[in-house]
Amino acid sequence: MNDRHTTYFRVEKGSPSEEELAALTVVLLARAAAAGVPAPAAEPSRPLARWRRLERATGFGGPRSWRRAA
């Protein structure tokens, strides 16, 4: 193997043309470039309350509400 060339991927099966290898190289480089760019920061959202207010709950739960509680 020549010292100037480094193998980044190899073809396991088949014989792709130079155009197909170039297209594959473009796709892989585009994915690598996209992975290196951090996503834009989203606006900080308000923390979501994991509790519920009992004063807003209805008084009647239904005849089979005990099944949903489990």
Q: Considering the chain, what is the average pLDDT of its residues? A: 77
Instruction: Check whether 19 has a pLDDT greater than 80.
Output: yes
Return the percentage of the chain with pLDDT > 90, whole number.
19
Cα–Cα distance measured from residue 17 to residue 8, given in angstroms and rounded to the nearest whole number? 17
Instruction: Return the half-sphere exposure (C-beta side, CA atoms, 13 A cut-off) of residue 7.
Output: 5
Q: What is the pTM of this model?
A: 0.41
| Per-residue confidence (pLDDT) for residue 67, from 0 to 100 | 67
C-alpha distances out from residue 23 to 8, 32, 43, 52, Å? 15, 14, 37, 54
- Report pLDDT digits (tens) over 24-47: 989 988 888 887 766 667 777 777
pLDDT band at 51 (very low <50, low <70, confident <90, very high): confident
